[in-house]
Structure 1
Amino acid sequence: MSNKKSASLTTRIVIGMAAGIILGFILQMLMPNKSDFVIPLYIFDLSLRGLLVDGIFQVGGKVFVASLQMLVVPLVFVSLICGTCSLKDTSKLGRIGGKAIGLYLITTAIAISFAMFLALLVNPGEGVNMVANTTFESREAPSLAQVIIQMFPSNPFAAFANGNMLQVIVFALLFGIAIALSGKPGERIASLFEDLSTVIMRLVTILMNLAPYGVFCLLAGLFTDVSIETFGNLIQYFLVVFFALVLHATITYPVLLKLLTGLNPLIFLRKMRNTAIFAFSTSSSNATLPITMATTTKKMGVKNSIASFTVPLGATINMDGTAIMQGVATVFIAQVFNVDLTLTDYLLVILTATLASIGTAGVPGVGLIMLAMVLNQVGLPVEGIGLIIGVDRLLDMTRTAVNVTGDSMVTIIVGKSEKQFDEDVFYDMDAGQEQEEADSKVS
């Protein structure tokens, strides 16, 4: 049995990204200005553009993008139902659930609004002027009232077939609440959806393990015809997303905590340090969930009756980091492909990404699938994902740290408002240390 460890997914995606960019630039030198490079053989002439750019790279890239789009509807529908099924107690549904969901949605809306404002301020994709492989036709922007009306499906199956994600999200929320309130029959249906969620998460894992090859094909094809300046734009995109994530975690959350509870936000950030580092290393809110639970109860002083409800709910529906990425990526891709978005389009992105964050499962890589949905919602070319997917895996770790920080912040606010919070434990800097040391000895 070999003790050799395979490279991590992050490493393989970075290798695929680097190899694709390097090969793309090599091919660009061989085929400047979108020309062709023909290798004469004895029987026929071999066209590099026909074989690689328009052949292998195009097929591989389009299959990967299609796979991302394929998972959107089932992933959102099943994840949303599993999340709302956790609201089994009607009193919690009306009070604690309302507080938690309201706070999660508010922080997500703040996150994506700030991210889009920052992206429009910096303009990371300006001046690239790429052309999508698919044609883009501008459409008349619907009014905000029409958008709200169209959120509610008259035929949910038509919404599934057409990929109308706002309608799918609304139907999934209503269906999940109905399951939660249906007693024993609801429990049986909920169990089925939990199993479906496990299967779909396995499918996501399979797809993300193919991501390095998809990234390689997408970037090799793109950088064959893209100038070196585009890479500078990609660095700008990375820095804008990273800066927005850091500001959201260190300013938005502490300010909300101070305003709504009066607690010291610096102590909160200090006690979140180990949990955030663990989340950063795993890139998974779900994997970090036991650590987040222990932090909020043992170190922060929230009673388990609250934390056991709000933390798992947050791991399911609180994806502020993903929303920030989607906001910046939408602006970046629109600028790269020289597409002007209207004010209604921006409002639609905020609304879609905020609601979609509820259905974004807390596992690595799912944010890209949600991004495909957001891009489709405002008519932007999904091929743009190929530009950012290489650096997205690196940003995913930071996004997860932001998400679990938000989960803990909301848990404290709800716990204090419900008088299920021990302030002495919160201000005790040694709280939870004994248990942590005991756990480390056992492991």
Structure 2
Amino acid sequence: MRNTPLHVKIIIGLVAGIIYAFVSSALGWNEFTINWIDPFGTIFIRLLKFIAVPLVLFSIISGISGLSDISKLGRMGAKTLGFYLLTTVIAVALGLLAVNTIKPGTHLDDDQRVKNRIAYELWANEDGVEIKDKKDFLINPKYADAVKEVSGKEQDVDMKVDKMKSTAESNKESSPLKFLVDMVPENLVFAISNNSLMLQVIFFAIFFGISIAMLPNGKAQPVIDLVNSINEVFLKMVEMVMKAAPYFVFALLAGVIAKMANTPAEVLEIFKGLGSYSLTLFGALAFMIFVFYPLIIVTFVKGMTYKQFFKNISPAQLMAFSTSSSAATLPVTMECVEDNMGVSRNVTSFVLPIGATVNMDGTSIMQAVAVIFMAQLHMVDLSLGQQLTIVLTATLASIGSAAVPSAGLVMLIIVLQSVGLNPAWIAIIFPVDRILDMCRTVVNVTGDATVATLVAGSENELKPTTN
């Protein structure tokens, strides 16, 4: 096992964690698993998160302060944001294509869909929301019995949904330029201590790095040496944590599943539940990972093969799957892209932290598929104009998603509201979201690595590798 590659060890940890979850649920060990094994998974996430912020801070400062031409930073920034925006729009469009072709929301029993539609109309009337497809099941005599059955039920509102709705409402009502205001920190210490304020840390790091680069070499060099040394310390910390990653991943997977299921049958339901939606979303995510990104790399990067691409970034992909967090995976992503893909530190330290914050291709696919799926489930026909609204809103919402597990659900509320749908519907996908979140985080991280490699190639910052 000593000479086994790290990514193989992580796969073994993943599989062992899932197998243990079945055994644990069958033997009634879930309480033991949650109390004595899951905490090690939490420790793993915390280790990666506390390393991620200072690593981003010092990596960006180190990379930018080493630039001899500041204008190069502007070019890199424009290319980075342009590539990220393009891949996000393509991801949303792919999600819409998949869900409109497969129509997962129509696979439910028609009687149940009629009741769903009636519940939607009751909600719309109560909240004063316009029903944009102009259908009215409430006054149709054909559905009188269903109306009576549905309207007689008390509608429960999940507290978790209420909390997400209030968060989404505050985001929705904010100024169009709020994202620019939010990028500038009021207090650096507070920004560093809050994982949701990564953009503020990036802003400070870029500003600080540019200021160092503009100083005379004699004055700047001591600061540059200090920053580079601190950066090396955090990279060494990443290396040490990753040696124990397979064991941590085992604990993480075992704990996540133990919290969601008490019996083997329930464990199976996690993987089978909401099957049509899950398969549609998984198919779109798989296309991005196994076709779209590799095709871009093989086309634009000389000498890079399909097999090499996955060999180079697989540790980051497996870590993304385990943690469901682009931010927690960032140290591993930086290591893979720099050491395996041959991208220079100047590029990785600038492009990847931005990507972990604003590039959420997997989240945008989920938002597109989930909104149309829920509309189909409730017999709501969305027009082409409304679906274009979803493209725009999902693109902007995904950029605003925090790089933490299930943050896309909060932004999904905004997308639902943009086309007049009930935001409480997000509760429908709660049972399978954690598993699918793991998959879409792999898309996010793979997209980050792809864009970083493209930017490096365009800036002649891509070194040939022997992998």
TM-score above 0.5: yes
In structure 1, the partner of 2:226 is none
Cα displacement string for residues 405-443 of structure 1 (whole angstroms, at most 9, x for unaligned residues)? 1111111111111111102x1xx12xxxxxxxxxxxxxx
Within the candidate set 261, 285, 300, 1:245 is matched to 285
Answering whether residue 351 of structure 2 is matched by residue 310 of structure 1, we say yes
* Post-superposition offset of 1:364: 0.7
Counterpart for residue 401 of structure 1: 442
| Residue in 2 that maps onto 1:24 | none
- Cα distance between partner residues in 1 of 2:103 and 2:410: 24
- Pick one of 323, 338, 341 that aligns with 2:379: 338
Q: 1:165 to 1:379 in 2, by over 3 A?
A: farther
Structure 1 equivalent of residue 181 of structure 2: 175
1:265 deviates by 3.4
- 1:234 is displaced (CA, Å) by 2.1
2:179 is the counterpart of 1:138:
no
Structure 1: 5+ residue stretches without partners = 12-81, 142-159, 180-186, 201-210, 217-230, 430-443
Query: C-alpha displacement at 1:116, in angstroms?
Result: 1.1
Aligned length: 302
Q: Cα 1:295–1:197, aligned 2, differ >3 Å: closer, same or farther?
A: closer
Contact preservation (8 Å) 1:166, 1:352: no
Change (3 A) 1:254 1:162: closer
CA distance in 2, matches of 1:238, 1:114: 15
1:255 is aligned to 295
Contact 1:360–1:370 (Cα < 8 Å) also in 2:
yes
Q: Distance in 2 between matches of 1:375 and 1:169?
A: 19
Determine the structure 1 residue equivalent to 2:88: 108
Provide the identity percentage.
36
Measured in 2, the distance between the counterparts of 1:295 and 1:198 equals 24
Unaligned runs of 5+ in 2: 1-30, 42-55, 134-165, 199-255, 262-270
3-state SS, counterpart of residue 301 of structure 1: coil
Do 1:254 and 1:266's aligned partners in 2 also have CA atoms closer than 8 Å?
no
Q: Which residue of structure 1 lines up, in the alignment, with residue 142 of structure 2?
A: none
**2:419 aligned residue:** 378
The alpha carbon displacement at 1:258 in A equals 3.0
Q: SS of the residue aligned with 2:274?
A: helix
Residues 83-141 of structure 1 show CA distances to partners (whole Å, capped at 9, x for unaligned) of 9xx89997466211111111111111111111111101111112423123622643669
Q: Does the aligned pair in 1 maintain the 2:167–2:410 contact within 8 Å?
A: no
Distance (whole Å) between structure 2 residues aligned to residue 296 and residue 397 of structure 1: 20
Aligned-pair CA distance for 1:266: 3.1
For 2:138, the equivalent position in structure 1 comes to none
Residues 312 and 199 of structure 1, relative CA distance in 2, 3 Å threshold = closer
Write the distance in 1 (CA, Å) between the matches of 2:326 and 2:91.
17
Closer, same or farther: CA 292–197 of 1 in aligned 2, 3 Å: closer
User: What are the residue-to-residue correspondences of 1:13-412 with 2, within 5 Å?
Assistant: 91=71, 94-126=74-106, 127=110, 128-129=113-114, 130=116, 131-132=119-120, 134-135=123-124, 137-138=129-130, 163=169, 165=171, 168=174, 170-176=176-182, 179=184, 188-189=186-187, 191-195=189-193, 197=195, 234-262=274-302, 263-412=304-453
Maintained 8 Å contact 2:344/2:462 = yes
- Give the distance between the partners of 1:383 and 1:8, measured in 2 at CA: 30
SS of corresponding position for 2:404? coil
| Deviations 1:306-356 (CA, angstroms, capped at 9, x unpaired) | 101111111111111111111110001111112121212111111111111
Contact 1:125 1:233 in 2 (8 A): no
Residue deviations 1:197-240 (CA, integer Å, cap 9, x gap)? 5599xxxxxxxxxx99xx99xxxxxxxxxxxxxx9992100100
Change (3 A) 1:242 1:161: closer
Amino acid at match of 1:251: V
Q: 1:302 to 1:240 in 2, by over 3 A?
A: same
Q: Provide the C-alpha distance between the structure 1 equivalents of 2:277 and 2:385, rounded to a whole number of angstroms.
A: 23
Partner of 1:44: none
Q: Could you tell me whether the CA contact under 8 Å between 1:169 and 1:355 is conserved in 2?
A: no
TM-score by length of 1: 0.60
TM-score of the superposition, structure 2-length normalised?
0.57
> What's the Cα RMSD here?
3.7
CA deviation after TM superposition for structure 1 residue 251, in Å: 1.0
- Distance in 2 (CA, whole Å) between partners of 1:348 and 1:244 is 20
CA 1:363/1:259 → structure 2, altered by over 3 Å: closer, same or farther? same
Amino acid at match of 2:96: M
Query: What code does the residue aligned with 1:406 have?
Result: G
Partner of 2:13: none
Cα distance in 2 for partners of 1:112, 1:341 equals 16
- Measure the CA separation in 1 of the matches of 2:272 and 2:349: 44
Q: Deviations over 1:29-66 (max 9, x none)?
A: xxxxxxxxxxxxxxxxxxxxxxxxxxxxxxxxxxxxxx
Contact conserved, 1:109 with 1:354, CA < 8 A, in 2?
yes
